[in-house]
Amino acid sequence: MVKFSAGCVALSLCCCLWLAFLAGLPAEAARGGKKETVEETVKRVVGTAMEGSGRRLGAALVRLLFHDCWVQGCDASVLLDTVPAGSGTGEKDAKNNNGLDGFNLIDDIKAELVRLGETNVSCADILVLAARDATAILSGGTINYAIKRGRVDGVVSSASDADAILPPSTFKIKQLKDNFALKGFTTRELVALSGAHAVGVAHLQSFADRLNSSTETPIDGAYRNALRNHTEAQKTAQGTNDPIELNNIRDMDGKFQTDAGYDATGVNTAVVGVLDNSYYKANLQNRVLFRSDWELRNDTDTAANAGIALAEFGSSASKWFVAFSNAMAKLSDLRAEGPRFEIRKNCRKIN
């Protein structure tokens, strides 16, 4: 029989209590280091979520940021399920918001911040930070930009507002430029932000007009036929008449690229889901999904021509990285509009 002294028992009890105390602390504090900052927590959660096959989630966060900030400013209104409760009129129900994703990850970040005692971080700040971190990961650390916290959460979310304000994929060049100008963005910034289409996916309904012979905008014939065949096959594979396709032809398989006549010169086709200037190279070949992408090639404005920026970014990745960083920082700083604001306890509903 093994005997323990009173001193040993007391020491063991103290150790157990100390371990329990450490378990309740943030990892950094438990290691004796500094407490993890809000920014570090967001970066950690986003990075973990995007490991492996989660890169598509990063693209969803970038899109989610644009769809939030473009409507009433950066106020996290797109995260609300419905306002008022049960009416079904929230921004999530907007036609222009079809296929939005990333909501669960924002919930996870909010929950982790609350667990660590950070209860006064707005959902709008979380979304802006998450999109920035996703952008850095998608670009392999090439795209980084500074942003400040301090945003507040709105209490209004309207599907009709989102459909009235967000530019659909069928917009013509003048409509696109006018839409961006209303938000204080230049033609060059319009073209720069369009480069986000280098990653992510799109539903067929967003580019069906490009495949319909009665509505199609000029599109490379080989690419159109390859896309038609692929979407038909995906209807069966995905079990829906509105399947998703990868935005970037660079990310399609070799057979598709060959059938579409894609020229991959200057493009790293060994990478998938990377945020780079390959979108511009594909656009200059007229091998892009959306009409709004194609429209950038056809700007007749001599003062601020989208085609000039398109060609510039296609030939210089470094110039696009700078332009995209600046435009994303500007987008993230669009001032919230609304009757009142709060710091939401739950990003999906008002307090």
SS3 of 346, please?
strand
Residue ranges of alpha helices (H) inside the chain are 6-23, 27-30, 38-49, 55-69, 103-115, 123-138, 159-165, 173-182, 187-194, 221-238, 254-259, 278-284, 291-295, 306-315, 317-331
> Is 197 annotated as contributing to ligand binding?
yes
| Phi and psi angles of residue 74, each rounded to the nearest 5 degrees, phi first | -80, 85
Token output for 87:
């009416």
71 is in an annotated binding site: yes
Contacts of 201 (CB under 8 A, 6+ apart): 56, 59, 99, 244, 245, 246, 247
Q: Which class for 5: exposed (0-12), middle (13-18), buried (19 or more C-beta within 10 A)?
A: exposed
**253 annotated to bind ligand:** yes
CB contact at 8 A, 313 and 281 = no
CA 123 to chain centre: 15
Rounded to the nearest 10 degrees, what angle do helices 187-194 and 317-331 cross at?
100
Extended beta strands in 126-252, E state: 153-154, 201-203, 244-246
Sequence-separated (6 or more) residues with CB below 8 Å from residue 65: 74, 127, 128, 131, 328, 331, 332
- Asked if residues 330 and 185 have their Cβ atoms less than 8 Å apart, the reply is yes
| Residue 75 annotated as part of some ligand binding site | yes
Nearest to 155 by CA among 22, 332, 345: 345
Phi, psi of 335 (to 5 degrees): -70, 135
- Residue 91 marked in a binding site: yes
Q: List the catalytic residues.
A: 67
Cβ(322)–Cβ(312) below 8 Å: no
Strand partners, 153: 342
203 is in an annotated binding site: no
Residue with tokens 């600046």: 326
Feature table: binding site: 68, 71, 73, 75, 77, 91, 167, 197, 253, 276
Feature table: binding site for substrate: 167
Feature table: binding site for heme b: 197
Feature table: binding site for Ca(2+): 68, 71, 73, 75, 77, 91, 253, 276
